[in-house]
Amino acid sequence: MKQLLVSFAQYEYWANKALSETILSISETQQQQEIKSSFPSIYKTCLHVWDATAIWWQRLQKAEEIIIPSRVSQPSMQEVIDGLLNQNKQWVDWTNNATEADLNHVFAYKNMKGEPFEQPVKEIMIHLSNHGTYHRGQLVTMLREVGVEKIPQTDYILFSRS
C-alpha cells in the first residue's frame, strides 16, 4: 500500500506542475474568466485545490487552528500555484517517510461544518489524489473554454511511464 500512496503523492505533484505551466502562461483575464463549473474560474478552481490540500495537511499535522489559504489573502495565480506545489511536495516527503502504521493510523478530525469523523490516513491520501484528478479534468475543459489549444496530458499512466 505504501508504494501506491507514494506514487499517488508523486503523481499529484507531477500532474499539478505540468498543468500549472499552461495556466501560468495564459492571461489573468483568461484565468479569471467566468466559466460554468464547480468553481467559476480557472483561478478559483486552482485556489480550491490548494485550500483542500492544505486543509488535509493541517488536519494530519493536528493543527489546532486550520488556516485556509483563500481566507488569509487574495493570492496571485503564481502564489496559488507555488502554494499548491509546495503543499504537494510536503505530502510526497511525508509519504516517503511514512511507515505502514502511519498510513493505517486512524485519526480524528472535523470537516468544515464541524462534524467529527475518524478515518485512516491512507483513505485521506486516496481521496486527495482522486480530488486532484477530478479538478484537473475540470481545468482542462476550462482551459479549452478560454481558447487554450495545447494542454499537457496528465494521465496517471503517462506519469508511471516516466
pTM: 0.94
**What percent of the chain has pLDDT above 70?**
100
User: CA quadruple 14, 60, 66, 48: dihedral positive or negative?
Assistant: positive
CB 4 within 8 A of CB 124: no
CATH number at 2-161: 1.20.120.450
- pLDDT band of residue 150 (cuts 50, 70, 90) is very high
pLDDT mean across residues, the chain: 96
Q: Hey, where are the domains in the chain?
A: 2-161
pLDDT digits (tens, 9 = 90+) for 97-141: 999 999 999 999 999 899 999 999 999 999 999 999 999 999 999
Q: What is the pLDDT of residue 41?
A: 98
pLDDT digits (tens, 9 = 90+) for 17-75: 999 999 999 999 999 999 999 999 999 999 999 999 999 999 999 998 999 999 998 99
Phi, psi at residue 117, to the nearest 5°? -145, 160
Residue 86 has pLDDT above 90, yes or no: yes
Q: What is the pLDDT of residue 162?
A: 87
Report the candidate in 57, 53, 65, 73 with the shortest Cα–Cα distance to residue 135.
53
Residue 90, C-beta contacts closer than 8 angstroms, at least 6 positions apart: 57
Distance between CA 23 and CA 12 in Å, rounded? 16
The percent helix, strand, coil of the chain (3-state, each to 5) is 65, 5, 25
The cell numbers describing 94, all together, are 511525508
